Structure 1
């Protein structure tokens, strides 16, 4: 009898121990290492402004921001202090003799008196009063299909120059592998040499070098430059690559991004002009922004549609039904934030409340994000938040 009771007791302990371990394992995607981590708001800046501003850059050291109102007939540059005071308002677009042409990257603050503008007329340096300080002609500026302009997509300093994303339109080659292996994902602007050069190569282990074809710019890079590395993700591929930041740009390591419910296009054997091929650009998951902060990787991403919603997106609808459908999809699939440890384990994954995930910007060791706009009410201000990582023991 004692043996039976002893066996029952041991069984109960083992059963509940295993059950507890099983439950813990099932939440691994969300929480690991007996602690949770999330974003917390540390500070905020409010700017009085009516309109739809595009934030280009911040300078926490000198407490200022630069933004633009991109309109069809004007591009007004505004420099504002963190106290909300307008420092300067100017235009270097259109008929201005010292205009930048087509803007290729977000404006970048240099110091408390000047900023850079990289355009098709070169790398221009302006005072805040609009005076042109210097102009570096760049030979053979690539014809970029389009440029992402805004907070989270700025120029990053690297090897006496600045990096920008390469969205150059290139001719199609015989095979997908040949085409994508010739792509240089980043451009390095070198003012001292008056040139722009393509850097990095998509690694052989990437999904893009398996012989498949993808919609245009499916590989668009999201990256960050840290002391000795370039950390980068290639568009829809859920993987992080770490390259050396020296001039060899050798691949150091790579690891998959195990993002929950991430749905992405796996490519086709043949290049296609069918809407179901190019339309994947709107429905496929995509990595939007990558930052490394306090030894953690912070990833902003669009999760992508599930199979049924993707199929529904290609069905012809009335204008009203189409608006209703895409409105529902926007609500169903908001962009998310994933926080990973240094080995790539996902510690937390969430939708940041009231913040725009893709807007993450690192300046002077501080992480800043833009407040998500209210789509129902036009505000007469916009806000930026300095955020930190909040770690709590479980």
Structure 2
């Protein structure tokens, strides 16, 4: 690993504090410290899937070729291979989320609409195969290579936003929608669960873009934490049936702008066309003591004029510069402890937690093509 010559520390004051006496008095803040970086020589775009600190291995996926890229902490790409498409040991066309190292770091698992597959680090299929379902649930939204899944015993818990049989310009779509799914790796069955609660933004009688609804999810201490896409609220559920709702926390972020949907008759159910100006929660993770979520606050209609008509990449860069993503630090009960702006060199969507450390992907440089990728090891500290 290439050591940084300096320690970059960004400290932030508390903007929102609730919860217990020790952390709601306004005397607690957090800082993010970049303690190391890894530069991987690679020309192209990729998704960060996983990091295994003990074996010093990194798993990525090429956005262009869908190849898995296995790198080490010195920045060397050790292996690259594809398991997408028409081949006997393929997982299918797209993974449903990020591949994940197994505990010893000698293999990794990928899930898809087709099944669950575990590969060795040189690309051999070790175990896995297709779901044994006559008809698979129809999962909503674009396939993603960065959403994390979680092993709970012999089952995999994943985001499994189900479209079902109804189009999204009908109330029935929202009544039948489910947010999560279990992949049973022994029975090879798939079970969708967790409908929208009756007070959800997405039960307001309007039509919503599927991309706005895809949940962010994490697991800690036998509890499931869920943020439903753009909705500024977090729900905590028990991880066992009947998945009792323990608590719902509405986030008080005064300048958060959310797209509240459109009239049902105006919705084209065939289209996926998210509102780029809407606020959205991009990631959700848990440490031993806290829950962290990163989000883009959105842009009100009265402040959008400077971005209208700009080329796509230029527009996105300008928006994120003027309205930078933020991080909420919450207690395990969901109380907001701190809120701060994320440093510009940390990507708000692609980050994960391993061995108590945060690992962030550096955002793509939209102004200049680079022939390398950068991953930062980041420490969250309480002042």
Q: Which TM-score bucket, shorter chain as reference?
A: 0.7 to 0.9
Residue 388 (1) aligns with residue 376 (2): no
* Aligned-partner Cα distance in 2 for 1:115–1:50: 24
Q: What SS class does the counterpart of residue 151 from structure 2 fall into? A: strand
- Deviation, 1:222, is 0.8
Aligned to 2:27: 34
Residue 289 (1) aligns with residue 283 (2): yes
Q: What SS class does the counterpart of residue 87 from structure 2 fall into? A: coil
Aligned to 2:139: 144
* Aligned-partner Cα distance in 1 for 2:377–2:232: 27
| TM-score normalized by the length of structure 2 | 0.83
Q: Structure 1 pair 136/247, CA: closer, same or farther in 2 (3 Å)?
A: farther
Q: Structure 1 pair 48/180, CA: closer, same or farther in 2 (3 Å)?
A: same
Aligned to 1:129: 122
- Deviation, 1:213, is 2.8
Aligned to 2:154: 160
Structure 2's unaligned 5+ residue stretches are 1-12, 18-23
Residue 263 (1) aligns with residue 250 (2): no
Report matched runs for 1:181-260 at 5 Å.
Answer: 181-260=175-254
Residue 60 (1) aligns with residue 53 (2): yes
Q: What SS class does the counterpart of residue 282 from structure 1 fall into? A: coil
Residue 96 (1) aligns with residue 87 (2): yes
Q: 2:62 aligns with which of 56, 69, 73?
A: 69
| TM-score normalized by the length of structure 1 | 0.80
Report if aligned partners of 1:32, 1:347 keep a CA contact under 8 Å in 2. no
Report if aligned partners of 1:42, 1:387 keep a CA contact under 8 Å in 2. yes
- Deviation, 1:281, is 2.4
* Aligned-partner Cα distance in 1 for 2:57–2:168: 49
Report if aligned partners of 1:32, 1:346 keep a CA contact under 8 Å in 2. no
Residue 82 (1) aligns with residue 69 (2): no
* Aligned-partner Cα distance in 2 for 1:146–1:175: 15
- Deviation, 1:356, is 0.3
Q: Structure 1 pair 260/385, CA: closer, same or farther in 2 (3 Å)?
A: farther
- Deviation, 1:55, is 1.6
Aligned to 1:379: 370
Greater Cα shift, 324-333 or 188-197:
324-333
Q: Structure 1 pair 68/353, CA: closer, same or farther in 2 (3 Å)?
A: same
Q: Structure 1 pair 340/274, CA: closer, same or farther in 2 (3 Å)?
A: same
